[in-house]
Amino acid sequence: AQTVTQSQPEMSVQEAETVTLSCTYDTSESDYYLFWYKQPPSRQMILVIRQEAYKQQNATENRFSVNFQKAAKSFSLKISDSQLGDAAMYFCAYRSAKGTGTASKLTFGTGTRLQVTL
Amino acid sequence: DAGVTQSPTHLIKTRGQQVTLRCSPKSGHDTVSWYQQALGQGPQFIFQYYEEEERQRGNFPDRFSGHQFPNYSSELNVNALLLGDSALYLCASSFLAGAPEQYFGPGTRLTVT
């Protein structure tokens, strides 16, 4: 079974600064997807970024980028130029890519609460 | 383009009662997954529906059941409610043959007293 670990329960960053959230995972599979989701106090889970395991290039979405280290099974999220609206719970999630078109669940970590201060 | 919708927003039930939660997927999506998120925890996978059948199930008892309708909407039913069933229930939709990400609804907060 796959597991996802987020070892930072809480992080704090000043507005306009950069912060990195950590995530490690355990799997015996070679083909999979990794995601970062953001959950603000409104509760709705919002997709931030996606990484395919077969891609060596790290994914980037505007101010959000990842550092994907497949051998180390590490998947960190870097938020640049932090904004007040970035304050939320951030969840790392794993999804198997086994079999095209087959059902596949998301396995989540326990989350990191990010505070953004002025 | 309507996103994933869920109803109701909040629900309060008594132990032993039964509850039904509803979800409408994002337009164009055919797969619905349900997750339970206890306070301070990450979401836990309950089950996933595609073509009106349960395709995958997490480690939840048979008290948790579901259904998917021909229009792809879905229901989650929980029987014989326990205090421990109090949680945020999230519905997520996706397109089985498409991109791997799932899109979430705003959730239903269930409180069991």
C-alpha B53, offset from chain centre: 14
Nearest neighbour of B43 by CB, restricted to A42, A44, A108: A108
Calpha distance A95→B103 (Å, rounded): 14
Domains in chain A: boundaries: 3-117
Cβ contacts of A10 within 8 Å, gap of 6 or more: A112, A113, A114, A115
- Under 8 Å between Cβ of A4 and A73: no
Q: How confident is the model at residue A63 (pLDDT cuts 50, 70, 90)?
A: very high
* AA identity, residue B40: G
SS3 A111: coil
C-alpha B91, offset from chain centre: 4
Structure tokens at A101: 């078109």
Structure tokens at A91: 């969840």
Q: How would CATH label the architecture of B5-112?
A: Sandwich (2.60)
Nearest neighbour of B90 by CB, restricted to A45, A100, A101: A45
Whole-number Cα distances in Å, A85 to A15, A40, A92, A112, B31: 10, 9, 19, 15, 30
Average pLDDT, chain B: 95
pLDDT of A17 over the 70 cut = yes
User: Would the CB atoms of B104 and A45 count as touching at under 8 Å?
Assistant: yes
SS3 A85: helix
Structure confidence at residue B97 (pLDDT): 78
Structure confidence at residue A99 (pLDDT): 60
Domain A3-117 is found in CATH 3.40.50.10860 = no
Structure confidence at residue A104 (pLDDT): 84
Calpha distance B73→B22 (Å, rounded): 8
Inform me whether the C-beta atom of residue A36 falls under 8 Å from chain B C-beta atoms: no
Residues in chain A: 118
User: Would the CB atoms of A107 and B45 count as touching at under 8 Å?
Assistant: yes
User: Would the CB atoms of B104 and A46 count as touching at under 8 Å?
Assistant: yes
Calpha distance A80→A65 (Å, rounded): 8
User: Would the CB atoms of A50 and B100 count as touching at under 8 Å?
Assistant: yes
Nearest neighbour of B100 by CB, restricted to A33, A108, A110: A33
User: Would the CB atoms of B43 and A95 count as touching at under 8 Å?
Assistant: no
Domains in chain B: boundaries: 5-112
Inform me whether the C-beta atom of residue B2 falls under 8 Å from chain A C-beta atoms: no
B17-72 residue pLDDT tens: 999 999 999 999 999 999 999 999 999 999 999 999 999 899 999 999 999 999 99
User: Would the CB atoms of A105 and B33 count as touching at under 8 Å?
Assistant: yes
Structure tokens at B96: 């089985």
- Under 8 Å between Cβ of A31 and A41: no
Q: Distance from A54 to chain B by nearest Cα, in Å? A: 14
Cis ω before B43 (30° cut-off from 0): no
- Give me the percent of chain A exceeding a pLDDT of 70: 96
Q: Which of A16-25, A29-38, A98-107, B81-90 has the lowest mean pLDDT?
A: A98-107
pLDDT of B1 over the 70 cut = no
CB atoms within 10 A of CB B6: 20
Cβ contacts of B21 within 8 Å, gap of 6 or more: B6, B7, B8, B11, B75, B76, B77, B78, B89, B91, B108, B110
Inform me whether the C-beta atom of residue A94 falls under 8 Å from chain B C-beta atoms: no
